[in-house]
Structure 1
Amino acid sequence: MSSIEIKGIWEPEFNLVVDAFKANFEPQSATPEQGAAFTLFHQGKLVVDIHAGTRNAALAPWQQDTLVNVFSTTKGIAALCIAHLVELGRLRYSDCIAAHWPEFANNGKQDITLAQVLSHQSGLNAFETPTTLDDLLDWELCCTKLAAQTPFFPPGSRTCYQALTFGFLVGEVVRRVSGLTIGEYLQQKICQTNNIDFHIGLPESQHARIADLFAPTRAPSMPKNMPSYALASMTNPVLRADFMLKSQTRCAQLPAVNGHGSANAVASLYELYSADKGLISAEILAKTTEVQSTRSDDLIGLPVHWAMGLVVNSLANTYGKEPKTFGHSGWGGSFGCHDPINRLSMGYVCNQMSPDLVGDARSQNLIKQVYACLGK
C-alpha cells in the first residue's frame, strides 16, 4: 500500500473507503492519482472527508479548501439551480424554452421543452457553425448561435449528449427567468446560504486555491460509427485541459464544464437534493429525477437514463446498486451523486484526468467500498 498520507476525517466503519482512496494513488492503479479528495454524507452526517496528494507541478500539497475544475460534474449542479426555480414556481419542466427566451423559437425550435434540453433530447448537442475555444468565453455569441440554428434531429426523437451546449441552454433559461447569471444564482440562492464552496465562474482572487489539471495520457475511446452531429459535440471545438487552466476560462461561466469546487462542496450540493434539507420538496425531487430517456445516447454509445440534467443509475450501476441513485460525472474522473434510499451523498474530485468518458475505475472503487461498509 502507498505511503501517501491521507488527511481529513472519517468514521472507523468507513475504513474500507479510505483504503480504496489510498489505493487510487498506487502506481498500478488504472489512473494513479496526483491529488484528490472524497467526501461522504450518510443519513445527513459527514462520515468521510479526506484529501491527499499534490495540486500542481510544483508539488504543493492538496489542502482541505483546494478547488478543482470538475468538468461535467458541473451539469448536476446546474440541474440543482433549475430544480430550485421549479420549486419556487418560476419554471416548469414542461415549459417551452421559447416561452422564456423568445429568440430561441427560430428554425423549428418553438416547441422544445426544458425537459428535452435537460435530458439531451433537444437536437442541439453541438454548435452548427465553426466555434473556437475562445468563442466559448463569449456568452452572448454562444447563445445567439444556439438560438439561430436548426436542431440536428427532431427534438425528442433521439438522445445525444450536449457536452458544451447544455450549459448555455440551461444557463440562459436561468438568466431569463431570474435576472441572474447561473453562477450568480448558484452563489446567491444556494451556496452562500448553505456555506458551500462551489463556483461556476471563479473570481480571480480565488485562483491561488485551484489544483492544476494533468491531461489524460491518451485520448478517450469513442463509439464507432458515431453520427457526424454527435462527433461535433466533441470536436467543435475540441476541449483541452490546458484551455481550462487559463485565468479567463476559470473566470468565465461555462455551466456545462467549468464548475470549481472541493469534494466536500460537491457532496454538500447533492445533500441539498434531500427533501428534508428544504431546498426542494419531495414532489419536485420526484419530477427532477423522473427518467425522460433510456435510449442509447448517440455520443456516449450506450443507453443512459437521463432525468432532468441528471443520470439516474444506469451504465452498469455507475453509482452503486441502488436504482434510484442519481448524479453526474465529469471528464477526468470527478463525480457527485445522491442515493435517496440509503441517504448517501458523495463527491469526488481529482487533478490527474483519466481518459475514460464513463466508468472511471477510481470512482468505481470508492463507490463499491461505500456500499461494502454499509453491508449492501
Structure 2
Amino acid sequence: MSGHEARVHGHCDTRFTAVREVFEENFRERGELGAAVAVTVDGGTVVDLWGGWADAARTRPWERDTVVNVWSTTKGPVALCAHILADRGLLDLDRPVAAYWPEFAAAGKEEVRVRHLLSHRSGLCGLREPHTLEQLCDWELTTARLAATEPWWEPGTRSGYHALTYGFLVGEVVRRVSGLRPGAFLEREVTGPLGIDFSVGLPQKDSQRAAELVHPPAANAGERGVAFSRLAPAAVAALANPLVGAAQANTPEWRAAEIPAANGHGTARAVAALYGVFAGRGLLGGRRILSARAAERVREGQGRCRDLVLGAGFDGETEIGLGLWLSGPQGSYGPNPRAFGHDGFGGSCGLADPEAGVSLGYAMNRMGSRIADDPRKTALVEALYSAL
C-alpha cells in the first residue's frame, strides 16, 4: 500500500461487512479523500469507520476525532431544537411566526406559520438584496433582513429549498422562545449532556482537528456561476446570495460564525447519534429527548411537489416533513418511503428510519457536485439496507 492510499480504521459488526466494503470502495472508485461513516441499530453502534486524509495535500490522516463541516446535514439538529421546544409546549408550529418574532410580520408575512419555516414553504429561500459572506456571518443583520423582506411565492403553497436562510429563520424562532441560538440550545439540551461531538460553527479549540473541505476539480467558481445564471431568481437567491463553497467554509470567519443551515461541524458518529434521536422515536442513550409523538411529527409530510429551488436537479417531486426530507418513492434514505434525513452540499448525510431502528451518519471532505444523493452516500445506504 502506497503512502497516499487510504487506510480505513474503526469497528464494523460482521453483519454489516457490506458497509465497510462500500466505504473502502468509495476511496478506490468514487474519489473519496477523507471520510467517516457510522450506523446505529436500536441505539447501539454497529458501524464506526473512518479513513483517508483530512487535507488536500494528504499530510494529515483522518482520525477518529476528525470533525468536518457537514453543510445542510446541520438542518436536522436545528429542526430538533424547534421540536424540543414544541414538545414542551413552548412553541406552537401552527401559530404565526410573528407571534414569537413580531418584526417578522413585515412585507405581508403576518400569516406565515412556524411549520412553513421548518418545511421550506415560507417563501424566504433567499434575500432579494445582495448579501455578502461577511453579512451572512452577522446574525442580527441577516435575521433583520429576513424579517423585513417579502416572500418569493405565496407561503405554504410550495416548497423552495431554504439553503442558507433556513437556519436563521428556524434559529431566530428558537432564540426568541428559549433565549438561546440553536447552537447553544443544542449543546445545553442534547450534545453536552450526551457527549455528542457536534457544534454549530467550530470552537477555536477544535480547529486543529477540522478537515479541510475540497471541491471536485470541475466545481470552480466560474463554472458554478454559469450554472447559477440559468436558474430562476428565487433559486439564485437561495443558492448564490452569497455564493459559498469549500474555500469559504475553510476560513476562520465561517467557522467562527453561527450559520445553522450550513456550518455544523462534527464526526459521522455525532451525526448518527443526532439523527438517532429520530430513529429511536425520541430516545437516545437512555435519555428521552423527544416524546414519541413529537419524534413522529418530524416526518409529517407537508405535500409532494417539484421544489421551486431544487426542481431542476431532482427527478419528479419530493416531499419535506417538518424539518427533514422524506425518502419517498425515490428512496433517498433507503427503501422505506417514510424513512427521512438530510443531505449536506457535496455529499454528507444523516438518515433516520424508525421502523428499522436505524440511523446513519456520513461525513467527508472531498465534495461531490450534487446537492443531494451523492453516489458515495447512495452506495452506503444501499449497503446498509442489504445487511438489515
Q: Same fold (TM over 0.5)?
A: yes
CA contact (8 A) 1:217 1:355 kept: no
TM (norm. structure 1) is: 0.95
Alpha-carbon shift at residue 315 of structure 1 (Å): 6.6
Matches within 5 A, 1:49-198: 49-56=48-55, 57-198=57-198
User: Does 2:248 match 1:246?
Assistant: no
Alpha-carbon shift at residue 52 of structure 1 (Å): 0.4
Alpha-carbon shift at residue 223 of structure 1 (Å): 9.3
State the alpha-carbon separation in 1 of the partners of residues 335 and 125 from structure 2: 29
Deviations 1:311-356 (A, max 9, x none): 0113710111011111000001000011111100100000000011
Residue 19 of structure 1: aligned partner: 21
- The answer for unaligned runs of 5 or more in structure 2 is none
TM (norm. structure 2) is: 0.92
Q: Which runs of 4+ in 1 moved over 2 A?
A: 1-5, 216-227
Residue 305 of structure 1: aligned partner: 319
State the alpha-carbon separation in 1 of the partners of residues 321 and 100 from structure 2: 21
Residue 232 of structure 2: aligned partner: 227
User: Does 2:264 match 1:259?
Assistant: yes
Does the residue aligned with 1:355 lie in a helix, a strand or coil?
coil
State the alpha-carbon separation in 2 of the partners of residues 241 and 250 from structure 1: 12
State the alpha-carbon separation in 2 of the partners of residues 6 and 58 from structure 1: 14
Indicate how the Cα distance of structure 1 residues 306 and 223 shifts in structure 2: closer, same or farther if over 3 A, else same: farther
State the alpha-carbon separation in 1 of the partners of residues 230 and 58 from structure 2: 42
**AA partner of residue 184 (structure 1):** A
**AA partner of residue 17 (structure 2):** N
State the alpha-carbon separation in 2 of the partners of residues 240 and 140 from structure 1: 23
Indicate how the Cα distance of structure 1 residues 333 and 198 shifts in structure 2: closer, same or farther if over 3 A, else same: same
Matches within 5 A, 1:323-334: 323-334=337-348
CA contact (8 A) 1:73 1:329 kept: yes
Alpha-carbon shift at residue 218 of structure 1 (Å): 2.4
State the alpha-carbon separation in 1 of the partners of residues 334 and 292 from structure 2: 22
Deviations 1:173-206 (A, max 9, x none): 1110000111100111110111101000221111
State the alpha-carbon separation in 2 of the partners of residues 331 and 132 from structure 1: 19
Deviations 1:6-27 (A, max 9, x none): 100111111111000000001x
Deviations 1:350-375 (A, max 9, x none): 0000011222000111110111112x
RMSD of Structure 2 on Structure 1 (CA): 1.8
State the alpha-carbon separation in 1 of the partners of residues 216 and 263 from structure 2: 17
Indicate how the Cα distance of structure 1 residues 189 and 246 shifts in structure 2: closer, same or farther if over 3 A, else same: same
State the alpha-carbon separation in 2 of the partners of residues 184 and 287 from structure 1: 23
Residue 335 of structure 1: aligned partner: 349
CA contact (8 A) 1:74 1:258 kept: yes
Deviations 1:150-170 (A, max 9, x none): 111111122210111111101
Deviations 1:52-82 (A, max 9, x none): 0010125211111100000000011101111
- The answer for unaligned runs of 5 or more in structure 1 is none
Matches within 5 A, 1:281-300: 281-300=291-310
Alpha-carbon shift at residue 145 of structure 1 (Å): 0.5
CA contact (8 A) 1:217 1:354 kept: no
Indicate how the Cα distance of structure 1 residues 222 and 366 shifts in structure 2: closer, same or farther if over 3 A, else same: farther
Does the residue aligned with 2:129 lie in a helix, a strand or coil?
coil
Which residue of the other structure, out of 270, 273, 276, is the alignment partner of 1:268? Answer: 273
Residue 366 of structure 1: aligned partner: 380
